[in-house]
Structure 1
């Protein structure tokens, strides 16, 4: 695309999805103008954007924060795009890219200064499509070159999953660090993964690729696309709705020293307090949505102390996790060709409302396609 003409010739009209939503509860489609040539960073043409639980919650008004002095925000934080124009050395026009989500605190803390805004301690960070920054559900967008992550062309079919995969990479790295207290260099041989959405599936795939045993529990029936994918990775799949007081639920928690909650189970701390295993490490990735649970803080802390347990949460990720996710996605796709791809439902942008309707989804992940 040639932008060598006048400034008017360089103006692009880009369709975007924004919140607050319309009267039907769906994101609103608006048109924004973008100058193709801008010193603030390369221009990116969107190929695909993932729709996740966080997006759904932002549309519902339970998460998210609009930019200051703005009455709307472009959604989307999981993206695959192609550079449409760049005058920045090292960023080539035509290059496939994704983008980190979080911008560091403007008065950077020690973590932000060392390139880890995902661990920001000041709390004044911003996130694209989530908190105070426009996201990627737009035909065109731009970002500083240092925020862009090159994506290999051979990963074009899975590139939109790099951001959620980066969260999994961070979670597993943190879990390994927690296990160092036990004199172990990696997680235990058998991990319980709660939830079979895309985060749960990527967690399962990465653990299985590393040779670990995995049990996945999710309410979806064994014949669902996600369940079949988990089984293809060699995991044990159990179709079960975790319920407090249920014997099977309690046995699952008691039998696993490593637990990854990719679904946001609000009453999980209660289960850990009563049935958590010795030396257990529990990582929470998913945010509870519409769930409420009372927890006996004294019982939880007492169990954690007496049984040497760790309960921690993971959110956001840094550049190193994006780069690790690219390598793991490539390796997993080579080991189990097409399995991850089979869980993705691609929806043309013109039918974007389908991705935000409450319904039984055909796959583990819905993707908006802009081409």
Structure 2
């Protein structure tokens, strides 16, 4: 699965060399690859770029594979399931990267598997350094493909709780905007924390409302239906109006985390002075979050293990074989997580 970033129609199933030992000492047989909007942004809008000196980029950053070879002492054995960490530190490194927090890279010289200057996991085999392979318990099986998106959500909740702890903080309610895989996983972690969770999306019926309700959360199609202030808001769509509306709903000392990214050029006119006064007078906070560190992948594994497996399985709404991988880019309204079967 390769493409020339930013060149629509360039996605192809191409022959690529066997993964180089320089990519890592752990050789992995690829099983599943999750597809998300980032992959489409790479292909259609040039979000990322290929490795230096190469024409094409191997796509894919949501991985699940089985270890074929691993050096002694790495803690990995042939047969283990693993997910690969996406972001790698810059070569300098900056102070954040030097401390294992490449997700907070200060100089922008990081690389990302399948996105930015580093080949992804969309091949039949890939290599990874042991420090960038996260073991997935066998009992999760194919659900291990949710570890990477789960890591982004685990980081969001960590950030929310860190910021909330600036004062006494015992959140009881949360609003999640967007019922895609990130939104639903964010809702899962909110329910696991014992919060009353609202999930907002446009679908009146179908898979998404059903998943939300079966999780024990409340599904709404309008912010007006929330009916109360919320202690936590997680905006997963990148839609400016929803971010603004969620900010207005924050309770005193509430925290809004933005994880959705908009690539549109449209501008949003808001009553900034009114919002400014409301946030200041409430001691409310807004923070952005992107990518994840190793600890967030580990936290995601723990959250998935705690969750109902049948419910998690329903998040994977469609599987496509490798030979038809581009079908995964065409989303239907009821799609949540679409995965490519790299063995197919």
| Paired position in structure 1 for 2:114 | 129
Which structure 2 residues correspond to residues 1-371 of structure 1 after superposition, within 5 A? 16-20=1-5, 25=9, 27-34=11-18, 40-90=24-74, 91-184=76-169, 186=170, 188-222=171-205, 224-238=206-220, 240=221, 248-249=222-223, 252=226, 255-271=229-245, 276-290=250-264, 292-296=266-270, 297-332=272-307, 336-344=308-316, 345-357=318-330, 359-371=331-343
CA contact (8 A) 1:273 1:301 kept: no
Aligned equivalents of 2:227 and 2:239: distance in 1? 12
The two structures have a TM-score, normalised by structure 1, of: 0.85
State the shift of 1:291 in Å.
6.5
Deviates more, 1:121-130 or 1:55-64: 55-64
CA deviations on 1:198-220 (whole Å, 9 max, x unpaired) are: 11111111111221110111012
Q: Give the Cα separation in 1 of the matches to 2:191 and 2:247.
A: 28
Partner SS, residue 155 of structure 1: helix
- Report the counterpart of residue 3 of structure 1 in structure 2: none
Q: 2:5, 2:49 within 8 Å by CA — same for their partners in 1? A: no
Q: Work out which of the two has the higher radius of gyration on C-alpha atoms and give 1 or 2.
A: 1
SS at match of 2:28: strand
Tell me the CA shift for residue 50 of structure 1: 0.3
Alpha-carbon distance in 2 for matches of 1:355, 1:123: 30
Question: Using the alignment, how far apart are the partners of 1:107 and 1:38 within structure 2?
Answer: 18
Aligned residue pair count: 340
Q: What are the ranges of 5 or more consecutive residues in structure 1 without an aligned counterpart?
A: 1-15, 241-247
Paired residue secondary structure (1:279)? strand
The 1:276–1:250 alpha-carbon spacing in structure 2 relative to 1, beyond 3 Å, is farther
Q: 1:111 Cα shift?
A: 1.6
Shift of residue 134, structure 1, vs aligned partner: 0.6
Q: Which runs of 5+ in 2 are unaligned?
A: none
TM-score (norm 2): 0.91
- Partner Cα distance (1:21, 1:129) in 2: 13
